Amino acid sequence: MQNQEDQLKQIIAHAKEYGFIYPSSEIYDGLSATYDYGPLGVELKNLIKDYWWKSMVQMQENIVGLDAAIFMHPKTWEASGHTTAFNDPMIDNKDSKKRYRADVLIEDWAAKIEEKINKEVDKAKKRFGDDFDEEQFRSTNARVLDRQKKIDAAMDAFKTAMDADDLEAVRQLILDLDIADPVSGSRNWTDVRQFNLMFSTEMGSTAEGASKVYLRPETAQGIFVNFLNVQKTSRMKIPFGIAQIGKAFRNEIIARQFIFRMREFEQMEMQFFVRPGEELEWYEKWKENRMKWHADLGFDSDYYRFHDHVKLAHYANAAADIEFKFPFGFKELEGVHSRTDFDLKQHEEHSGKKLQYFDPELNKSYVPYVIETSIGLDRMFLAVLSASLKQEQLEDGSERVVLKLPAKLSPYQAAILPLVKKDGLPEKAREVFDELKSSFMLQYDEKDSIGKRYRRQDAIGTLLSITLDHQSLEDQTVTVRDRDSMEQSRIAISELHYHIQARLK
Ligand code: GAP
């Protein structure tokens, strides 16, 4: 069994070795929290986008797409609240000169105590064996209760301080909890300050004429400001949705855990516009619909859970995250939010333009309510990669590393492999390759032994390996090896197209 840190390390190494993900500008030692997608990465990313787009746009009569610009009028971000409220509390350590998110320091402190509780539980589990009742132990053991009380008190104090915008109280809490800089061990902290996460730049060529613009921190606002454009030009009737995939930028104070938290990332968002009063019904439908989208990929259901928000943002009247079991624990993968009419109303107010819909059935105009589904493409990539990467013990005692990607997300659907590099087999293999390449993503490989080539294809998740041998020249059949079962079957070349297609379904 690998521990969590090793598992993440293995994923990062695998992603680099096989050309899924590289650190950005690596020859200059990289740029923190920024990554480049390599040849296999871009394929997998496109397949995830395609899976989302098909399900959210192609299969939905009442959802249409949009590709809004990354730059938006600066007033957009005043209306959305991002210029004033899109902040993280940060604190610097005066000795190490390192910057941290105050909330993360406190959460990490809580996680360490949580770890101690879990160790206590594990110890008791071993001691009592089958008779062990974990729930009872957690609710009665004095040491566990005492530790849990400490965590709850600290988290409550943090929440109270943040709600009151009392940053001095947040600093005091860090001091009271005796939190040290994880790098230097120093407790020499600065004040806590709010740090806006939006990146800004200048638009315009002269210093006087230039104005400050932001790189969008979410794609959603491009949808809100285009609500009427899309509704009118596509003749949509409520309920209807607008979907978009695009880049977003956040100057995250701490960016870690690989592509989980990046400074430049992609979102796949959909805003669904509904009649006021019907939003909670639609919220439940979208929660269910989005979980089904995840489940249809075929990973174990244990990987997912809902986290319903108890404390809601000021604009929401219901919200939940779909959390995924990443190598570092359950974390948010997607958000489903009932955002009321907050965003459209804010844009009405700041732009002075009406953003209302005339409902012919009700014979009246109103500002629609919005259900939002928002998933990070890169987070989804990491989720897929971490649930697919397996190390398997084979019957002959050897091991294989295999990327058991869902069939529809496999970058290469098949590899075409001549058994040997002579006797006319490469020529025959090329013929098969050319015949199929307009229908499928294929890889041609004739280097190394067939065993090594199978391993390489397993490692990059190629669904089928098609081997041509001497018999192929005589009877026009090939061996098809399935990545997951490693079973091999003899198939006529003329049947290959159908066979690959069937496997993809
Ligand atoms: N429009 C709503 C919105 O942006 P969010 O919870 O801030 O909500 C939505 O972001 C999703 O975007 C998250 O669930 C996550 O998957 C992804 N995401 C957010 N920040 C990210 C980051 N720094 N790096 C990678 N993905 C991120």
CATH number at residue 442: 3.40.50.800
Q: For residue 269, tell me if it sits in a domain.
A: yes
Which residues form the domain of 158? 87-196
Residue 97 CA, ligand 1 centroid: distance in Å: 28
Residue nearest to atom 4 of ligand 1 (CA): 218
35: in domain: no
Measuring from atom 20 of ligand 1, which residue has the nearest CA? 261
Distance 268 CA to ligand 1 centre (A): 9
Q: What pLDDT is attached to residue 207? A: 67
Ligand 1 centre to CA of 375 (Å) is: 7
Partners of 215 in the beta sheet?
A: 71
Per-residue pLDDT, 256:
77
Are residue 386 and residue 436 in the same domain, yes or no?
Answer: no
- Cβ atoms of 289 and 241 closer than 8 Å: no
* Close Cβ partners of 356 (under 8 Å, ≥ 6 residues apart): 348, 365, 366, 367
Is 250 close to ligand 1, i.e. is its CB under 6 Å away?
yes
In the numeric block, the tokens 């979102």 are attached to 267
Q: Which position has the token pair 């009649």?
A: 275
In a domain, 109, yes or no: yes
- Please identify, by atom number, the ligand 1 atom nearest to the C-alpha of residue 217: 4
Q: Are residues 374 and 270 in the same domain?
A: yes
**Is residue 216 within 6 Å of ligand 1 at its C-beta?**
no
Structure tokens at 102: 């105050």
Identify whether residues 227 and 354 lie together within a single domain: yes
If asked whether residues 179 and 238 sit together in one domain, one would say no
pLDDT attached to residue 310: 82
Residues 152 and 187 in one domain: yes
- The pLDDT, as a whole number, for residue 206 is 67
Name the strands in the sheet holding 87-93, side by side, starting at the edge strand that comes first in the sequence: 99-101, 87-93, 189-196
C-alpha torsion sign, points 272, 277, 283, 285:
negative
Residues 367 and 457 placed together within one structural domain of the fold = no
> b/e per residue, 4-36, with b = 16+ CB within 10 A?
eeebbebbbebbeebbbbebbeeeeeeeebebe
Distance, CA of 106 to CA of 108 (rounded, Å): 5
CB of 445 closer than 6 angstroms to any ligand 1 atom: no
Whether 92 and 221 share a structural domain: no
Q: Is residue 320 part of a domain?
A: yes
Atom of ligand 1 nearest to the CA of 321: 14
For ligand 1, is residue 287 a contact (CB within 6 Å)?
A: no
Reading the block at residue 246, the tokens are 């695009």
Closest Cα to residue 154, out of 176, 182, 180? Answer: 176
Domain end point (choices 132, 166, 196):
196
Within-domain flag for 28: no
Q: What is the CATH classification number for the domain harbouring 259?
A: 3.30.930.10
Nearest atom, ligand 1, residue 263 CA: 23
**Tokens read off for 189:** 């902290």
The pLDDT, as a whole number, for residue 361 is 95
* Cβ of 453 less than 6 Å from ligand 1: no
Residue identifier of the C-alpha nearest atom 12 of ligand 1: 376
Do 279 and 388 share a domain, yes or no?
A: yes
Where a domain ends, among 144, 170, 196?
A: 196
| Helix (H) or strand (E) run with residue 444 in it | strand 442-444
Token output for 395: 């019957």
The total domain count for the chain is 3
The amino acid at residue 312 is: L
Residue 466 in domain = yes
For residues 122, 126, 127, 131, the Cα torsion angle rounded to the nearest 10 degrees is: 100
Residue ranges with strand state E in 31-113:
35-37, 63-66, 87-93, 99-101
Do residues 342 and 281 share a domain? yes
**Helical segments of 129-141, H only:** 134-140
Among residues 165, 196, 227, the one where a domain terminates is 196
pLDDT by residue, tens only, the chain of 505 residues: 567 778 999 999 999 999 999 999 999 999 989 999 999 999 999 999 999 999 999 999 999 999 999 999 999 999 999 999 899 999 999 999 999 999 989 999 998 999 999 899 989 999 988 888 988 999 999 999 999 999 999 999 999 998 888 999 999 999 999 999 988 999 999 999 999 999 999 998 766 667 899 999 999 999 999 999 999 999 999 999 999 999 999 999 877 799 999 999 999 999 999 999 999 999 999 999 999 999 999 999 999 999 998 878 888 999 999 999 999 999 999 999 999 999 999 999 999 999 999 999 999 999 999 999 999 999 999 999 999 999 999 988 999 999 999 999 999 999 999 999 999 999 999 999 999 999 999 999 999 999 999 999 999 999 999 999 999 999 999 999 999 999 999 999 999 999 999 999 8
Rg from Cα positions in the chain: 27
Is residue 248 within 8 A of residue 237, CB to CB? The reply is no
How far apart CA 409 and CA 132 sit, in angstroms, is 42
- Ligand 1 centroid to Cα of residue 316, in Å, is 16
Tell me whether residue 50 is in a domain: yes
Ligand 1 centroid to residue 134 C-alpha, Å: 34
Query: Per residue, what are the HEC states of 418-435?
Result: ECCCCCCHHHHHHHHHHH
What's the CATH number where 136 sits? 3.30.40.230
Does 167 lie in the same domain as 267? no
Q: Are residues 480 and 384 in the same domain?
A: no
One domain, residues 228 and 339 = yes
Distance in angstroms (rounded) separating the CA atoms of residues 385 and 435: 30
For ligand 1, pick from 197, 218, 249, 330 the residue to mutate: most ligand atoms within 8 Å of CB.
218
DSSP 253-265: SS--TGGGS-SEE
In this structure, how many other beta carbons lie within 10 angstroms of the beta carbon of residue 379?
Answer: 23
Provide the whole-model pTM: 0.90
Whether 220 is in the pocket of ligand 1, judged by its Cβ within 6 Å, is yes
In-domain check, residue 9: no
Query: In degrees rounded to 5, what are phi and psi of residue 242?
Result: -125, 130
Which residue from 437, 441, 466, 468 is spatially nearest to 454, judged by alpha carbons?
A: 466
